[in-house]
A and B are shown apart, each in its own frame.
Chain A
């Protein structure tokens, strides 16, 4: 074979313009309209790949997405794309590509010796070998030999976007049938989207030469107001309720690919059909090609890449290709398995009826074929430089099958065709099995020796199917998994039907009785980035920022993410670590005053005449007995009795409560309230208003806190404002809500103003607090303070198994008469056990205990656990360690010394009360 010059009748390229590209470090020239495959063929490059398992030399088999051989790595560095089919790459100027899975090159590949081992490496061979002495000895080399392309090492520089579109009719496939369907629908006044995987419309007309009608329809559709035409668009998935998903390759538009999500009232599948190879010895050699693909390269791309051509067929369609090649000046011989009586009468072509190609001659390129009668007898060799084959056609029923539609095997065309649809979809053209005049005679496997490839992508031969049969893997799903048939990079587009039919012959079943494997998305491989779309990296669960974020940043805050919010961990001075800063801040809170941004604290207003009744059902404690202007601590459970959230709630008015949740619980708890009200307690007159982000909340805490508020300027009477009460008024001339509640153990004022006033308030507090040495405090210091006080941190000191009694909060339950969420679960046997894990203090006398250290029951590791450390800090105020932990029957073991284990180290501690500082709680009431 040699690279011939381009023919002028080529329908698909612009010969007047040159595109330069490199393949395997050599420079070539192609033209606009070329694929990488056509450009390589035109340049005489036949051998461009090595096969997956045996590293056999491979060329180009097909002209579209079904290509199993010609796999390349496109581009280099961060923009490389591994494992593209050369047939799906539209040529562009400057393209760089190379072969995969061979080294140093496809013509001289060091792993080609694997071919010699092929007789040993049949289907299932891994399962029977490499077990002794140990699979792990073999696994490393096997991993290194496996795989095709190479993943890029750097982040993808490109963007991907998503788009929704609804239409009356979605036509998939821009060949003659699809164009006609789209036109008909558009003329009926319907909104139409036409999607074509190729970069050109026309489908089979591009290679069959019947261009006039297709060109007329294309022009009309592109001009039609009702029609949107999408090329380079692979409709790869058909989901429920006529949702179809496609990926479009973009050029420009700020993104590399666009994922389309279509919702169509009706779907027309005009996806055509894929030609099948014939299964004979060495049918995988470079220079053996599907007849229709060769016809494409000739007609669409003007490449006559063979002069002496053998066409091997069992049906009429290949005669069209043969005729095209004769017209182009090649010498063509048709080997047709069918008897003379069935052969079409075409004068120009030499036909040998009743014969088969037994084998291809030549290693790196076909240079002849061995021919014989089907039933044996004499064979002879015919020289050639190109072998075309046609084993019939498989309608592209992938999307139809994905939609839930059933298939049936059609004897006339020897193919699986659409049977019954379950969604609003119809197939037209070849996809519907309209393959008239095929007159096919099944020939699934040519008898005789030699490697006869069924699945080129995964190196599955007819012999492998025999092995599967021998080992009773005869179900089509077993056949697939045992031999890997159809699991390769082409997903079996050219191999599945041949494979299952051969299994059928081996087991005396018709192909229809063997059936197909399940068709699943994607039709062809889809880029991860396109599926993920733009919501990756920083846009993956975007971080929320405090309304006064810039103020914190300007004051040296170190930020960390807490429950989806970027919050200050601490405000280290120059030369200070954040840990040291947290110690300083915590100490300041006990001695002077600190300022904490508590804006993410969840805030939900519960409004209506039944608000109290509703909250009685939500909280472990009572809500309806709370006085207006007062606040109370509450615990929430799920129906399984587990603690899910806590916080202080305030009665604003008779019919209005303000519920505070943990910052990570804000959205979840509001949704939960809504669910109970809409679904269960539908008679209650209550509305839910989640207001978290409407407010900025700044907390001033410490012995000097009230002085700071006074200095800031307020109309609230601070002398009549006890702990756990609430006032509305002005602070720093801003309309404010102020709550006296404390998570630090010191007198605290939680001041909430409109979120947009956050910076103004924090500035005012800063100025007013300057004489009192007010200092900003981060989350870490808050955690130290609340641990000193033994205040519960839900999700840290509790997990998804913790009940209220476990954290010493059974008291309110005993005093409450009515039901609340989860109450019944607290009466179960497991809840009443005395050896449950209970929250206690752990006093170490030698350093800070690690959080996560386990309390040992009998000092042995391995051995039983008696609990673990949940919170642990160095207390600057007590100048020693403080810790909380969940310990088995802990409250009855106060005073006991226990051993703890942490990643090889041992610690000890005394079980103590949870409150380490100010046990009487006098300071927070100050």
Chain B
């Protein structure tokens, strides 16, 4: 049971949130090829490590925000606004997370 931090409301139990899946996916234009369109609709990065995904404080303020989360040990490495780019500042934390994932996986 994750403890997520809503940018508006602060730390809350995961049951107040819903996960919207991978974030930072650019929506292609109508001119996109079939493959590019399928890549957008269906294909996902699914790393065994840190993912960047969007969450909604569904049973709270309704705010959508981004979370960098290690899907192996469920550690939260960063929480940032929808409009923010993928965090570069948390690289260290993220690589620590990866290291820990590798250890756990062993």
User: Which residues of A approach B to under 8 Å, CB–CB?
Assistant: 164, 239-243, 261, 263, 404, 422, 639-640, 671, 674-675, 678-680, 682, 819, 823-825, 827-829
Residues A824 and B30 in contact, CB atoms below 8 Å apart: yes
**Any A CB within 8 A of the CB of B80:** no
Q: A371 to nearest B CB, angstroms?
A: 46
Q: How far apart are the CA atoms of A679 and B65 in the complex, in Å? A: 8
Contacts of B48 in A (CB 8 A): none
Residues A639 and B41 in contact, CB atoms below 8 Å apart: yes
Contacts of B3 in A (CB 8 A): 240-243, 263
Contacts of B2 in A (CB 8 A): 240-241
Q: What mask results when residues 65 to 105 of chain B are scored 1 for a CB within 8 Å of chain A, else 0?
A: 00000000110100000110000000000000000100010
Give me 19 other A-B pairs in contact (C-beta within 8 A), A239-B1, A242-B3 excluded.
A164-B13, A241-B2, A241-B76, A243-B1, A243-B3, A243-B13, A404-B73, A422-B100, A639-B40, A640-B41, A671-B56, A671-B58, A679-B20, A679-B54, A682-B83, A819-B29, A823-B30, A824-B37, A828-B37
Q: What mask results when residues 35 to 66 of chain B are scored 1 for a CB within 8 Å of chain A, else 0?
A: 00100110000000000001010100011100
Offer 20 A-B interface pairs, CB within 8 angstroms, sorted by A: A164-B13, A239-B1, A240-B3, A241-B2, A242-B3, A243-B3, A404-B104, A422-B73, A639-B40, A671-B58, A674-B56, A674-B64, A679-B23, A679-B82, A680-B27, A682-B82, A819-B30, A824-B30, A825-B37, A829-B34
Contacts of B64 in A (CB 8 A): 674-675, 678-679
Contacts of A261 in B (CB 8 A): 1, 13
Q: A174 to nearest B CB, angstroms?
A: 24
Q: A122 to nearest B CB, angstroms?
A: 35
Q: Which of A242, A422, A671, A828 is within 8 Å of B34, CB to CB?
A: A828
CB closest chain-B residue, reference A817: B30
Q: Work out how many contacts link A and B, with CB atoms closer than 8 A.
A: 59
Q: Which of B13, B30, B62 is within 8 Å of A674, CB to CB?
A: B62
Residue among B1, B32, B58, B76 with most chain A CB within 10 A:
B1
Contacts of B32 in A (CB 8 A): 824
Residues A240 and B74 in contact, CB atoms below 8 Å apart: yes
Decide: A241 near B74, CB < 8 A? Known: A824-B37, A828-B34: yes
Q: A677 to nearest B CB, angstroms?
A: 9
CB closest chain-B residue, reference A683: B83
Q: How far apart are the CA atoms of A675 and B65 in the complex, in Å? A: 10
Residues B34 and A675 in contact, CB atoms below 8 Å apart: no
Decide: A240 near B62, CB < 8 A? Known: A825-B41, A828-B34: no
Contacts of A243 in B (CB 8 A): 1, 3, 13
Q: How far apart are the CA atoms of A239 and B13 in the complex, in Å? A: 12
Q: A801 to nearest B CB, angstroms?
A: 15
Residue among A819, A824, A829 with most chain B CB within 10 A:
A824
Contacts of B40 in A (CB 8 A): 639
Q: How far apart are the CA atoms of A254 and B13 in the complex, in Å? A: 26
Q: B83 to nearest A CB, angstroms?
A: 6
Q: How far apart are the CA atoms of A682 and B104 in the complex, in Å? A: 38
Contacts of B56 in A (CB 8 A): 671, 674-675
Contacts of A671 in B (CB 8 A): 56, 58
Q: How far apart are the CA atoms of A175 and B61 in the complex, in Å? A: 43
